[in-house]
Structure 1
Amino acid sequence: MSSSSSDRFDEVFDEIFEDTFNSIVEAQTNKQKRRAYIERNREAGHDRLWNDYFSEDSTFSPHLFRRRFRMNKELFLRIVHGLSEYIPFFQQRRDATGRFGLSPLQKCTAAICMLAYGSAADTVDEYLRLGETTALSCLHNFTDRIIQLFGDEYLRRPTPEDL
């Protein structure tokens, strides 16, 4: 093979390689879309939830709480407390701007509502003020951590005494 045909081969190879590389890079950058930021006013979501169900003069009675969440308020608060005490995901933190993030109540309520009613993740947005991907993350973390924290005590085979 002469040096001129070798040079031509290298040129063609470099051209094809560069075209292929550029099309791969373009395809990857086109797929990466920025999500639009939506100001959901998460603080108001927490306040609404607190005033409706957890304050001393709450809007809804304990009977309605049990009907809506499929458990009594004491059990619900025990779960929220256990998760927020031991699991960093459920601890309320400040974001980069100094604002508080979602409260443990909001995160647990989102997960329990989706479990109790089998509803879609975006249905909790309007009331609790958190987005669909956040709600799915809450559900995933909730189920994993409930098994981790309470599994040995509650998620076991019945013993002869239980039966």
Structure 2
Amino acid sequence: MASSSHYHYHREDNDQLDSMFDDLSEEDGDIFPEPKERKKRIFIERNREEGATKLWNDYFSETPTYGHRLFWRRFRMNKPLFMRIVNRLSTEVPYFRSTQDTTGRSGLTPLQKCTAAIRQLAYGGGADTVDEYVRLGETTAAKCLHRFAAGIIHLFGDQYLRRSIPEDLQRLFFEGEERGFPGMIGSIDCMHWEWKNCPSAWKGIYSRGTGKPTLVLEAVASYDLWIWHAFFGAPEFIDGEGEDAYSVGLDDTLRNTIDARRRIQDTPTNQRLKADLIENIWAKFGHFPNNI
């Protein structure tokens, strides 16, 4: 009897424990859901070799399909300059060298990678726009653009992104005088890029006649198309450290000229000058009755 009662006690206890574990298992299942099955990466056979052959025949063979004018239009530079860039990158930057995969199949050529980067820069399109012609995926195209920009800065930055020196300024003055424009250092131009997500509190500061907020891209180029100054910014960066973050660097004389022009075009400065002019005119002539 005692043995039977003892056995009955343990059986009920086990039933309770089983019920508790079942409840905990259900709760844990809600808190820690089963991991989702990882989706396999979609592989697309793009036939990159055919893309490389087509690109070569279209632009780089001895008898290309598209001539010099169309090359300039689509690459925004002449062919010798582009080939110079490709050769430097493929020689000194490992990413742009010709490689083979583990099966011995050739990878993308330096021309394909550089063309993908240049097309994105030339047309302002997304990374996916070069897939059909150059035969590389969106992720690879974005990587080509990033590595291309980094490689250009590394290889050519010391020469083309340097600050101007007095000899450069004197040469520009001489060329300007030879062309009938003494004292001219180059041509300045600007464009306004619409700021779609401009905060509402700042909209009035950045808006022009169109009523849409914009940021200004300003550049100074000399007769040989060398860009000596580039500024991409906003009004509050004009008189502060923000300017150095956007400018490629200027000679002090050239910087003073640009700063003077910018101050003249500054809206608060114009309003202050107008108010001072009106106050001065009123102080001199406002007491005459016939002037009212």
Category of TM-score, reference length = shorter chain: 0.7 to 0.9
Aligned with residue 89 of structure 2, among 65, 83, 87: 83
Aligned length in residues: 152
Aligned-pair CA distance for 1:82: 0.6
Higher helix proportion (structure 1 or 2): 1
Letter in 1 for 2:85: I
Aligned with residue 162 of structure 2, among 151, 156, 159: 156
- Higher normalized contact order (CA 8 Å, seq sep 6+, divided by chain length): 1
| Aligned: 1:111 with 2:117 | yes
Letter in 2 for 1:132: E
Distance 1:57 1:145, change over 3 A: same
1:74 maps to which residue? 80
> Per-residue displacement from partner, 1:79-137 (whole Å, max 9, x unpaired)?
11111101111011111221100000000000011011101111101111111111001
1:145 maps to which residue? 151
Cα distance in structure 1, aligned partners of 2:84 and 2:166? 27
Higher strand proportion (structure 1 or 2): 2
Cα distance in structure 1, aligned partners of 2:157 and 2:103? 37
2:103 maps to which residue? 97
Aligned with residue 58 of structure 2, among 45, 52, 55: 52
> Tell me, which stretches of 5 or more residues in structure 2 are unaligned?
1-16, 170-292
Distance 1:16 1:153, change over 3 A: farther
> Per-residue displacement from partner, 1:40-88 (whole Å, max 9, x unpaired)?
0001111111111111111111121111111111110011111110111
Letter in 1 for 2:134: L
RMSD across aligned positions (CA): 2.4
SS of the residue 2:115 aligns to: helix
Cα distance in structure 2, aligned partners of 1:111 and 1:137? 9
SS of the residue 1:162 aligns to: helix
1:42 maps to which residue? 48
SS of the residue 2:86 aligns to: helix
Letter in 2 for 1:120: G
Letter in 1 for 2:97: Q
Letter in 2 for 1:127: Y
Distance 1:129 1:148, change over 3 A: same
SS of the residue 2:167 aligns to: coil
Segments ≥4 residues shifted beyond 4 Å: 14-22
2:245 maps to which residue? none
Question: Structure 2 length as normaliser, TM-score?
Answer: 0.47
Cα distance in structure 2, aligned partners of 1:68 and 1:106? 14
Aligned with residue 120 of structure 1, among 112, 121, 126: 126
Letter in 2 for 1:70: R
> Tell me, which stretches of 5 or more residues in structure 1 are unaligned?
1-7
Cα distance in structure 1, aligned partners of 2:138 and 2:79? 25
